[in-house]
Structure 1
Amino acid sequence: MNIVVLVKQVPDSGAERTLSSQDFTVERASASNVINEMDEYAIEEALKIKEAHGGEVTVLTMGPAGATESIRKALSMGPDKAVHISDDALHGSCAVATSKVLAAALGQLNADLILCGAESTDGRVQVLPHMIAERLGIAALTGARKLTVDGSQLTAERQTDEGYEVVTAATPAVVSVWDTINEPRYPSFKGIMAAKKKPVQALSLAEVGVDAGEVGFAGATSQVLEYSKRPPRSAGTKITDEGDGGSQLVAFLATEKFV
């Protein structure tokens, strides 16, 4: 089975994240950049499927030159090769433009199964799996907490607030996963060394067949007009129990509309 895993490099969610004062895009140059957490679960699922059914796993990334670091980290987990779409014109691309570029590249890779995280920690829009599937004209099984492969048939348990739904589709298909699906493996020393020799194909916009005017700020369907930092957390309400602590607590909860 030919499996492609979409991997995004994002600023570490555990560190402070900022937007550029020039164009309001995520400041990546000075950030501590890592693989999007959900994508690590997609990589692990791809490797498990390969181990059970055979085939090849390719990592696909769209991002600046610095994303190579995350590509090598992904390869150290076990995938066979990677494709890196990098072009200065991509800076400022919205989700719609991103889906166009990724779908164009995926069309060249002829994937049976496309895996990705359910969301990215920097954008959290959860729309790319649907957009890519629509562009490619294939099924989308999103938000999976479990995935079963039987030949060309896929069965996923889609995680919901109330429990889960069972959905099925035939390959080719796009499947997005949550962090409940597995436990990603740690790269071994052997895997880290092997990743340095695995092929990484670099592609430009022209090579995937997308015009520069359709991406970046020129092709964006949304725009950030202004932003402000989250205000510092204020001190909470302290209740001193002098015999009426319970009454004070209930009154506070009622004021906040919890009771």
Structure 2
Amino acid sequence: MNILVVLRMIPDSAGELQLGEDGRSIDREWLDFQLNDFDDHALEEAILIKEAVGAKVTAVAVGEGANRVLQMAAARGADEVVALQFEEDTMISSRDIAASIASMAQARSADLVLCGVQSTEDLFGQLAPYVGALLDWPHVSGTNRIAATGAALRVTQERGAGVAVTYDLAIPAVLGVQTASKAPRYVSGSKLREASKTPIGRATIEPSGFERSAEIRELRLPAQGGSGEDLGNDPENVADRLVTILAVNGLTANGLARK
């Protein structure tokens, strides 16, 4: 079995976001980037299938910092790693990269394409459906367990409210992974150093073939509605401060508003 897994780099959600001068994009100059969490689970699922039934795993990463993530993928068990060259300082659009992923899957005779169910730049989870449409392969998104059985897959999909559905799916197929069967594994420093010797391939973006049906007109940062105060952990100081706050806001200690 040949598995192609997609790894997207996204802005660190803990970073401070600033808008670009055009008012329709995020200023990425000083942002840190990290691997999309759902794609991390897709990588782990690919490695678990490899360990269970034998497979070749190709990891393709796109976005700033892709090389270090590909080294991590190699340390975790990926057999081949490829960086998809993408225009810097732009949002990773599923529409724009889908054709390249589909082409790589065909060139490598992939039986299975895995990606995260969504990302912060693909909240509607469109990558798996786009790739499935281009390849004319069946696809399932929101998976939380994948088991390979010969020329088929048994896939569990989470539907919400505690409901899950299990499919028997013929390969080739495209899956959008929500959670792997096991948590993504830890990689030691020694394995990462060894993986740093792994050659990283290069691939270029191909025309998407999808017409743009919508565009971003304007972005706004959330309006700040108030602030918080750390009261510390000393009970007496916390109590005194709470009484002061109540008094300043026209409340007595027993919670009744002063007239």
Alignment TM-score, normalising by the size of structure 2: 0.79
| CA deviations over 1:32-68 (Å, ceiling 9, x no partner) | 111111111111111111111112111112335x422
The 1:10/1:93 distance shift into structure 2, 3 A limit, reads: closer
In the alignment, the residues of structure 2 paired with residue 107 and residue 23 of structure 1 have an alpha-carbon distance, to the nearest angstrom, of 38
* 1:94/1:220 contact within 8 Å kept: no
Q: CA deviation at 1:127?
A: 1.2
The 1:235/1:17 distance shift into structure 2, 3 A limit, reads: closer
RMSD: 2.9
In the alignment, the residues of structure 2 paired with residue 240 and residue 6 of structure 1 have an alpha-carbon distance, to the nearest angstrom, of 58
| CA deviations over 1:81-120 (Å, ceiling 9, x no partner) | 2121214499566432222222222221221111111111
Instruction: Mark the structure with the bigger radius of gyration.
Output: 2
Count matched residues: 235
In the alignment, the residues of structure 1 paired with residue 226 and residue 122 of structure 2 have an alpha-carbon distance, to the nearest angstrom, of 26
Q: Is 2:231 aligned against 1:232?
A: no
Instruction: Report the secondary structure of 1:8's partner residue.
Output: strand
Runs of 4+ residues deviating >4 angstroms: 89-93, 238-245
Q: Give the residue type in structure 1 aligned to 2:200.
A: V
Corresponding residue for 1:86? 85
Q: Is 2:118 aligned against 1:126?
A: no
In the alignment, the residues of structure 2 paired with residue 93 and residue 15 of structure 1 have an alpha-carbon distance, to the nearest angstrom, of 18
In the alignment, the residues of structure 1 paired with residue 252 and residue 63 of structure 2 have an alpha-carbon distance, to the nearest angstrom, of 53
* 1:4/1:111 contact within 8 Å kept: yes
In the alignment, the residues of structure 1 paired with residue 225 and residue 72 of structure 2 have an alpha-carbon distance, to the nearest angstrom, of 35
Corresponding residue for 1:105? 104
* 2:63/2:88 contact within 8 Å kept: no
In the alignment, the residues of structure 1 paired with residue 221 and residue 90 of structure 2 have an alpha-carbon distance, to the nearest angstrom, of 22
Q: Is 2:144 aligned against 1:179?
A: no
Instruction: Report the secondary structure of 2:218's partner residue.
Output: coil
Q: CA deviation at 1:76?
A: 2.7
Corresponding residue for 1:8? 8
Q: CA deviation at 1:197?
A: 1.5
The 1:88/1:200 distance shift into structure 2, 3 A limit, reads: same
In the alignment, the residues of structure 2 paired with residue 156 and residue 30 of structure 1 have an alpha-carbon distance, to the nearest angstrom, of 40
- The structure richer in helix per residue is 1
* 1:92/1:220 contact within 8 Å kept: no
* 2:91/2:121 contact within 8 Å kept: no
In the alignment, the residues of structure 1 paired with residue 196 and residue 97 of structure 2 have an alpha-carbon distance, to the nearest angstrom, of 27
Corresponding residue for 2:160? 161
The 1:188/1:55 distance shift into structure 2, 3 A limit, reads: same
Corresponding residue for 1:190? 190
What is the identity percentage for the equivalent residue pairs of Structure 1 and Structure 2? Answer: 26
The 1:158/1:9 distance shift into structure 2, 3 A limit, reads: same
In the alignment, the residues of structure 1 paired with residue 177 and residue 255 of structure 2 have an alpha-carbon distance, to the nearest angstrom, of 51
In the alignment, the residues of structure 1 paired with residue 180 and residue 203 of structure 2 have an alpha-carbon distance, to the nearest angstrom, of 33
In the alignment, the residues of structure 2 paired with residue 95 and residue 144 of structure 1 have an alpha-carbon distance, to the nearest angstrom, of 19
